[in-house]
Structure 1
Amino acid sequence: MGLGRRELLLGSGGLLAGAAGCAGPARTGAGPASSAVPLPTTTPWRPDRADVDPAVKLRAVQVVEAIGAWPAGQGGAAAAKRRVAALGAAPSLVDAAGPLLPTADEAVLQVVDAQYGGILADSASVLVVCRQWTPGHATGTSGTTVDVRLRRARPRWEVTALHPARPGAAAPSLPDAARGVLAERRITLPPAAAADVRSGHVHESVLRALLRLAITYRMYVSVIRSGHPRDVFGTDRPSDHPRGRAFDVWQIDGHAVVDPATSRRLVERFMRDAAAAGSYNVGGPVRLSGGAAGQFFTDATHHDHVHAGFTT
């Protein structure tokens, strides 16, 4: 698995507590043009060798890292295009980078996780979850989730499109459940997922289920609403995520779902508890029996996370 990924437990607004897969040029402090707060050191993300197709995720992450991190004096779209071109990817991808390319003299980026939004024989969606720091904004609250689309090619998978998360503005007021999720230390939210909750567009059933699961588990959420494909990948069926009626978890009690060393009993128990918390559609790497018809499922896409979807 990626270096130190099981130890990466960041609060929804916290600084790095350990290296976890990912990011641009490593650095140890701020340069002359930086703020007084040094930018954190980051590490390149690496896929787990037991992943369905590690090369797909690695390619997606490499492009995101190339765009979202740069040393002092090398900001801007033109420099990002040169970095992407050096990878053998299309420089035009930078035109869709959006929040991944803020106006700043320098930036560092840490990929928290890369999970499948879908993987088929010749195409894939990889959801690259990242935190980003720039001078003057070194609190770890910045960052995004990028839906990276790829197609099979030689000698490597080719990145064809980037779709960064667009959570929307924060709501003027939030229900108690939303405030509870944002405050719950046992629920870690990356920037895009936290912004989803603050937007007020996450369904109450999702929020209540997260709080119920947090009584028993420490969870690292990867995706809630934004940054996920609009349709179930490879189909024309709308996904529950963009409607604010689903969440994905990539790490349970400090253990990555994709890691073969993670207890399958732990993952199975979490999946069953997600169903008991109200999810009609629970997916993960474990094939489960019981439940309502079609309530549990497993496939290659859900080899690396647990999905919980809700109808009401």
Structure 2
Amino acid sequence: MESDTAGGIRRFVPRRVVLLGGAGVLLGAAGCAGSGGGAGPAGRTPAGSAGAPTPGVSPGAAGAAVAGSPPASAPTAALPAVTPWVPGPGEVSPEVKLRAVQLVEALGTWPSGGEGAAAAGARAAALGLDPGLAAQAGPLLPAADRAALQVVYAQYGGLLADSASVMVVCRQWALGADGAVTAGGTTVDVRLDRAQPLWTVTGLRPAEPGPATPTPSAAARSVLTDTRIVLPPAAAADVAAGTVHDSVLRALLTLAQAHSFQVTVLRSGHPLDVFGTNRPSDHPQGRGVDIWQIDGHTVADPATDPALVDGFMRAAAAAGSYNVGGPRQLSGGATVNQFFSDRTHHDHVHAGFAE
């Protein structure tokens, strides 16, 4: 998200492992480790294989699949254990974020028999929301017998007195009829309006990263493999699709020389316009990045050293950003509006690039 005074999976590919006689044989290396996202189409993990760990998610138990004839009693596939997302310390208007997150969690997680738009609509209705929102859920409703969704973070795309955009970043695992678990995820731009007693959701706009390009730039390849740059599924897919400008990618690589950090959004999943205005956002043009965690510290957390976040903002400006936003208004800058701050940017650092 960027200043309104200056002037939002595809799925990540997890490791695919087939267990032969109890030994794992790695079939695909384009994977995601830790909480980072990789590039490419959705990955399918046979039941009983081990997926990459994700913060807030425990892999769960799984049985081994043996090559050849299936056992008389096949093991039950296990989806990762997920936990509800809870706003951390220092969040602005946490009830707004929580309302958006609870809908995404309800839509993207279901037990056996809970698949389909009708069942998803019923889960929305149980939250006191329009069941018709299920028709806008898109990638949150894969064809699967069961699914589990973990929210990574919820960041503001805009926060006004009576309306808001919350970008909900999530990972999802779906169990198909064939017993395979498919790992994926997306970023959903959730629109809300003030209402009583709770804010109400008026629309869902899931990310649409586009297909991967066969000829990614050198900067794109470096960003996708740099373990200090943690990309969620939609952002990783944006990089793989070649829709993020190299100016952004080079800046990320420069910042990663001194810091590790988690990206919220690059291009897809972000509002098309700066929220509350008709001015085009840098993000859909592939010229913006939002970062919610630096060196393991959440930007919104009041316990995070202000010098860490402020120094990161200045480093982003030095790396070429013309428009750097964050939780505090910084002095200086190459131009009058190079640094900015507002309620929307209390929870992240935004860096926009002119080209």
User: Please, what TM-score do these two structures have when normalized by structure 2?
Assistant: 0.80
Aligned equivalents of 1:122, 1:34: Cα separation in 2 = 53
Deviations 1:122-156 (A, max 9, x none): 0000000000011266574x100000000000000
Residue in structure 2 matched with residue 271 of structure 1 by the alignment: 313
Name the SS of the counterpart of 2:284 in structure 1: coil
Deviations 1:169-204 (A, max 9, x none): 111211100000001000010000000001111001
Aligned equivalents of 2:284, 2:126: Cα separation in 1 = 34
Q: Does 1:311 align with 2:336?
A: no
Residue in structure 1 matched with residue 68 of structure 2 by the alignment: none
- Letter matched to residue 167 of structure 1: P
Instruction: Confirm or deny: 8 A CA contact 1:218 1:254 kept in the other structure.
Output: yes
Residue in structure 1 matched with residue 206 of structure 2 by the alignment: 164
- Letter matched to residue 118 of structure 2: A
Instruction: Confirm or deny: 8 A CA contact 2:282 2:352 kept in the other structure.
Output: yes
Structure 1 residue 37, shift from structure 2 partner: 5.8
Q: Does 1:297 align with 2:340?
A: yes
Aligned equivalents of 2:74, 2:273: Cα separation in 1 = 41
Match of 1:107 among 124, 147, 150: 147
- Letter matched to residue 35 of structure 2: L
Matches within 5 A, 1:171-190: 171-190=213-232
Match of 2:35 among 10, 22, 32: 10
- Letter matched to residue 307 of structure 2: R
Instruction: Confirm or deny: 8 A CA contact 1:82 1:91 kept in the other structure.
Output: yes
- Give the structure, 1 or 2, with the largest relative contact order (CA under 8 Å, sep 6 or more): 2
Match of 1:235 among 277, 286, 293: 277
- Letter matched to residue 232 of structure 2: P
Identity of aligned residues (%): 63
After the TM superposition, which of the residue ranges 239-248 and 47-56 deviates more from structure 2?
47-56
Instruction: Confirm or deny: 8 A CA contact 2:260 2:294 kept in the other structure.
Output: yes
Structure 1 residue 168, shift from structure 2 partner: 0.7
The alignment covers a number of residue pairs equal to 298
Structure 1 residue 247, shift from structure 2 partner: 0.3
- Letter matched to residue 104 of structure 2: V
Unaligned residue ranges in structure 2 (runs of 5+)? 1-32, 39-50, 64-72
Deviations 1:11-30 (A, max 9, x none): 2247334317xxxxx99456
**1:36 to 1:158, Cα distance in 2 relative to 1, 3 A:** same
- Letter matched to residue 118 of structure 1: G
Moved over 3 A (4+): 26-31, 33-37, 136-140
Matches within 5 A, 1:91-102: 91-102=131-142
Aligned equivalents of 2:103, 2:133: Cα separation in 1 = 9
Structure 1 residue 50, shift from structure 2 partner: 2.1
Aligned equivalents of 2:148, 2:74: Cα separation in 1 = 12
Name the SS of the counterpart of 1:129 in structure 2: strand
Matches within 5 A, 1:135-146: 135=175, 138=181, 140=183, 142-146=184-188
After the TM superposition, which of the residue ranges 47-56 and 78-87 deviates more from structure 2?
47-56
Unaligned residue ranges in structure 1 (runs of 5+)? 1-7, 21-25
Instruction: Confirm or deny: 8 A CA contact 2:170 2:187 kept in the other structure.
Output: yes
